[in-house]
Amino acid sequence: MKKLLVILSASAFLSAPVLAEKPEWAGNGKPGEEQMAEHKANMEKQMEDGQSEIDEKMKKNKDKAEKQVKKHKNDAEDYKDKAKEKAEQYKEKSDDEKKGLEKQKEKKAEQMKKEMDKGSEKGQQKREENSKKWWKFWE
Protein backbone atom coordinates (compact mmCIF):
# COMPACT_ATOMS: atom_id res chain seq x y z
CA MET A 1 0.00 0.00 0.00
CA LYS A 2 2.78 2.39 0.88
CA LYS A 3 4.53 1.54 -2.35
CA LEU A 4 1.40 2.22 -4.37
CA LEU A 5 0.87 5.56 -2.63
CA VAL A 6 4.48 6.60 -3.34
CA ILE A 7 4.17 5.60 -7.02
CA LEU A 8 0.88 7.48 -7.48
CA SER A 9 2.16 10.68 -5.83
CA ALA A 10 5.38 10.56 -7.90
CA SER A 11 3.47 10.01 -11.14
CA ALA A 12 1.05 12.86 -10.33
CA PHE A 13 3.98 15.16 -9.60
CA LEU A 14 5.85 14.24 -12.78
CA SER A 15 2.82 14.28 -15.08
CA ALA A 16 1.78 17.85 -14.22
CA PRO A 17 4.15 19.49 -16.81
CA VAL A 18 3.02 17.01 -19.45
CA LEU A 19 -0.63 18.02 -19.02
CA ALA A 20 0.14 21.77 -19.28
CA GLU A 21 -1.19 23.72 -22.26
CA LYS A 22 1.04 24.40 -25.19
CA PRO A 23 2.03 28.07 -25.69
CA GLU A 24 0.80 29.83 -28.82
CA TRP A 25 4.24 30.29 -30.33
CA ALA A 26 5.30 26.67 -29.83
CA GLY A 27 4.72 23.79 -32.19
CA ASN A 28 3.48 25.66 -35.25
CA GLY A 29 6.33 24.37 -37.35
CA LYS A 30 8.34 26.63 -39.63
CA PRO A 31 6.96 30.11 -40.16
CA GLY A 32 5.44 30.91 -43.51
CA GLU A 33 6.69 33.48 -45.98
CA GLU A 34 4.15 35.98 -44.74
CA GLN A 35 5.31 35.67 -41.13
CA MET A 36 8.94 35.87 -42.18
CA ALA A 37 8.30 39.03 -44.21
CA GLU A 38 6.40 40.58 -41.29
CA HIS A 39 9.17 39.69 -38.88
CA LYS A 40 11.79 41.13 -41.24
CA ALA A 41 9.80 44.38 -41.61
CA ASN A 42 9.51 44.68 -37.81
CA MET A 43 13.22 44.12 -37.38
CA GLU A 44 14.08 46.74 -40.04
CA LYS A 45 11.77 49.23 -38.37
CA GLN A 46 13.45 48.60 -35.01
CA MET A 47 16.86 49.03 -36.65
CA GLU A 48 15.82 52.36 -38.19
CA ASP A 49 14.40 53.58 -34.88
CA GLY A 50 17.57 52.54 -33.10
CA GLN A 51 19.74 54.22 -35.73
CA SER A 52 17.77 57.46 -35.44
CA GLU A 53 18.20 57.40 -31.64
CA ILE A 54 21.91 56.80 -32.07
CA ASP A 55 22.15 59.70 -34.54
CA GLU A 56 20.33 62.02 -32.12
CA LYS A 57 22.60 61.04 -29.24
CA MET A 58 25.67 61.52 -31.40
CA LYS A 59 24.50 65.03 -32.36
CA LYS A 60 23.92 65.90 -28.71
CA ASN A 61 27.32 64.55 -27.71
CA LYS A 62 28.99 66.38 -30.58
CA ASP A 63 27.35 69.64 -29.50
CA LYS A 64 28.45 69.07 -25.91
CA ALA A 65 31.99 68.31 -27.03
CA GLU A 66 32.12 71.46 -29.16
CA LYS A 67 30.88 73.56 -26.24
CA GLN A 68 33.51 72.04 -23.96
CA VAL A 69 36.24 72.67 -26.51
CA LYS A 70 35.17 76.32 -26.84
CA LYS A 71 35.04 76.67 -23.07
CA HIS A 72 38.51 75.18 -22.66
CA LYS A 73 39.90 77.43 -25.40
CA ASN A 74 38.41 80.48 -23.67
CA ASP A 75 39.80 79.31 -20.33
CA ALA A 76 43.22 78.79 -21.89
CA GLU A 77 43.16 82.28 -23.42
CA ASP A 78 42.13 83.78 -20.09
CA TYR A 79 44.93 81.88 -18.38
CA LYS A 80 47.45 83.14 -20.95
CA ASP A 81 46.26 86.72 -20.48
CA LYS A 82 46.52 86.46 -16.70
CA ALA A 83 49.98 84.89 -17.00
CA LYS A 84 51.13 87.73 -19.27
CA GLU A 85 49.79 90.31 -16.82
CA LYS A 86 51.58 88.65 -13.91
CA ALA A 87 54.80 88.41 -15.91
CA GLU A 88 54.59 92.13 -16.69
CA GLN A 89 53.94 92.92 -13.02
CA TYR A 90 56.94 90.86 -11.93
CA LYS A 91 59.10 92.48 -14.60
CA GLU A 92 58.07 95.95 -13.45
CA LYS A 93 58.69 94.95 -9.85
CA SER A 94 62.14 93.56 -10.63
CA ASP A 95 62.98 96.67 -12.66
CA ASP A 96 61.96 98.82 -9.69
CA GLU A 97 64.10 96.68 -7.38
CA LYS A 98 67.06 96.97 -9.75
CA LYS A 99 66.63 100.72 -9.87
CA GLY A 100 66.47 100.79 -6.07
CA LEU A 101 69.65 98.73 -5.78
CA GLU A 102 71.43 100.98 -8.24
CA LYS A 103 70.38 104.03 -6.23
CA GLN A 104 71.65 102.40 -3.05
CA LYS A 105 75.00 101.61 -4.69
CA GLU A 106 75.33 105.21 -5.92
CA LYS A 107 74.53 106.58 -2.47
CA LYS A 108 77.02 104.23 -0.87
CA ALA A 109 79.72 105.22 -3.38
CA GLU A 110 79.05 108.92 -2.71
CA GLN A 111 79.12 108.31 1.00
CA MET A 112 82.43 106.46 0.74
CA LYS A 113 83.88 109.26 -1.40
CA LYS A 114 82.81 111.92 1.10
CA GLU A 115 84.18 109.89 3.97
CA MET A 116 87.52 109.40 2.19
CA ASP A 117 87.88 113.11 1.63
CA LYS A 118 87.42 113.89 5.32
CA GLY A 119 90.25 114.03 7.79
CA SER A 120 93.98 113.71 7.48
CA GLU A 121 95.97 111.42 5.21
CA LYS A 122 96.74 109.02 8.07
CA GLY A 123 93.07 108.80 8.97
CA GLN A 124 92.15 108.18 5.35
CA GLN A 125 94.69 105.36 5.08
CA LYS A 126 93.39 103.84 8.30
CA ARG A 127 89.82 103.92 6.99
CA GLU A 128 90.91 102.26 3.75
CA GLU A 129 92.48 99.42 5.71
CA ASN A 130 89.36 99.00 7.84
CA SER A 131 87.02 99.21 4.85
CA LYS A 132 88.53 96.15 3.17
CA LYS A 133 86.20 93.22 3.15
CA TRP A 134 87.04 90.38 5.52
CA TRP A 135 86.73 87.75 2.78
CA LYS A 136 89.33 89.48 0.67
CA PHE A 137 92.18 88.64 3.01
CA TRP A 138 94.83 88.29 0.25
CA GLU A 139 94.74 91.99 -0.66
How does residue 19 score in pLDDT terms, banded at 50, 70 and 90? confident
More confident residue, 101 or 63: 63
DSSP 78-135: HHHHHHHHHHHHHHHHHHHHHHHHHHHHHHHHHHHHHHHHSS-HHHHHHHHHHHS-TT
pTM over 0.85, yes/no: no
pLDDT computed for residue 108 by the predictor: 82
pLDDT computed for residue 95 by the predictor: 78
More confident residue, 126 or 6: 6
Q: Is 4 helix (H, G, I), strand (E, B) or coil?
A: helix
pLDDT computed for residue 33 by the predictor: 86
